[in-house]
Amino acid sequence: MSNAVPQPSPLRQQDPEVAAWLQREDRRQSQSLTLIASENHCSSAVREASQSRITDKYAEGYPQKRYYGGCEVADGIEELARQRAMQLFAGAEDANVQPHSGTTANLSALLALAGVGGRIVGMALKAGGHLSHGHDKSHTGVVFQARQYGVDDRGRIDLDEVRRVVKEHQPKVLIAGGSSYARNIDYAAFAAIAREASAVLLADIAHPAGLIAAGVVPSPVGIADVVTMTTHKTLRGPRGGMILAKKELAKQINSAVFPGSQGGPLVQQIAAKAVAFGEALRPEFRDYQQRVKDNAAYLAERLLGAGLDIVTGGTDNHIVLVDLRKTDVTGAQVEERALAAGLSVNKNAIPGDPRPPMVTSGLRLGTAAVTTRGFGRDQIAIVADVITGLVKGGDPERFRGTIHGLCEAFPLP
Ligand code: DSN
């Protein structure tokens, strides 16, 4: 047995204040359950790569075509990430791994495909779309002429409405994808609508990217002209974005990322993306994604069984969107109660929401992070009971011990 006294880390020694905040976040994550649909827990290998020394390196440009010397390692890392990305998303013809986020990936793709002032059509945020699909408060609603489509009264995309909006607006780009849409998207139908208007199809798979990579939900790769995504949600990598493009669009996309909308790439994040893609290429990743999907379906089933409403009546992916309109509580109130019980969730607008965005009548849940911790049906059943109890007015303190027990039994990776 070693008698060595553990040494404080350089950070703890030099800056105890920041170290204490980071330690507090470690504690927060390990002692609560993340049910925020856009979050996950990446592996320690991914974290190690993203904190590597290559954070010091500028590498503006692309492999073999950089604006600075000393980029041979950055070249190797970026090329490896690109090759793994194309292996992971079968049928991808080109990959740009530099976007810092899903929003910059979308801005870059739209700059390349629509041009400044160009017309775009995307799903409205309040229907389940995303800010960067042309919302008027986002640069994508300022730089481009945007029109938006909604969902029908069951909460599902209405392809006839998409066709009508596209016909009227004649966009250069049609966007398919969302951030709180729990159903599969018919990418072939979207592609046909885009073709009728001579538009290109951009599929934003930020949320289901991991499920798509694993083949457990339908993929737009090979159907859409361009596919954008984040790497940190179901894909379980580091925070960041990525764009897959058909070969003939790759040059335009690359120029729109750099120099169009970003400067130097974050090479440490690209290294971490390469690690995450390597993990996603392993057979166990498919099993993980199947469990994410099964857990979401079971969560929806249990909540419905307890009398709660779910937008669209269920889910095809990792998202469950609870409709609270017939209860006495708002999304904001349940979010606060859940936090007190040890559950991290987010209030979310539901289609046709009568309440403002900081209040909402919905609750968006996701199963990626708890499945990473190892959750299966038994634990999902407990979580569903706790959420139901909180919605029905139960004291959060009453559930704290149950959640704490789950956190102890299923530690972070
Ligand atoms: N913040 C992400 C989400 O929660 O879906 C999208 O930007």
Q: Is the CB of 234 under 6 A from ligand 1?
A: no
Residue 189 has pLDDT above 70, yes or no: yes
Q: Which CATH class is domain 285-409?
A: alpha beta
Which mutation among 130, 138, 344, 346 tests ligand 1's pocket best, with the greatest number of atoms within 8 A of CB?
130
Q: Which residues pair with 250 in a beta bridge?
A: none
Contacts of 366 (CB under 8 A, 6+ apart): 35, 36, 37, 38, 39, 296, 318, 319, 320
**For residue 3, what pLDDT is reported?**
67
Q: What is the pLDDT of residues 73-103, one digit of tens each?
A: 999 999 999 999 999 999 999 999 999 999 9
Ligand 1 atom with the shortest distance to the CA of 180: 5
Q: What is the pLDDT of residues 133-159, one digit of tens each?
A: 999 999 999 999 999 999 999 999 999
Q: What is the pLDDT of residues 291-331, one digit of tens each?
A: 999 999 999 999 999 999 999 999 999 999 999 999 999 99
Are residues 196 and 166 in contact, defined by beta-carbon separation less than 8 angstroms? yes
Hey, whose CA ends up nearest to atom 4 of ligand 1?
38
Residue 6 has pLDDT above 80, yes or no: no
Which mutation among 34, 38, 335 tests ligand 1's pocket best, with the greatest number of atoms within 8 A of CB?
38
Q: What is the pLDDT of residues 225-258, one digit of tens each?
A: 999 999 999 999 999 999 999 999 999 999 999 9
Q: Which residues are catalytic?
A: 58, 60, 204, 230, 233, 239
Q: Is the CB of 228 under 6 A from ligand 1?
A: no
Q: Is the CB of 179 under 6 A from ligand 1?
A: yes
Average pLDDT over residues 51-69: 97
Q: What is the pLDDT of residues 217-226, one digit of tens each?
A: 999 999 999 9
- CATH code of 49-280, in short, is 3.40.640.10
Residue 1 has pLDDT above 70, yes or no: no
Hey, whose CA ends up nearest to atom 6 of ligand 1?
179
Residue 2 has pLDDT above 70, yes or no: no
Q: What is the pLDDT of residues 347-389, one digit of tens each?
A: 999 999 999 999 999 999 999 999 999 999 999 999 999 999 9
Q: Is the CB of 38 under 6 A from ligand 1?
A: yes
Q: Where are the domains of the chain?
A: 49-280, 285-409
d(CA 350, CA 359): 11
**For residue 78, what pLDDT is reported?**
98
CA 223 to chain centre: 21
Ligand 1 atom with the shortest distance to the CA of 207: 5
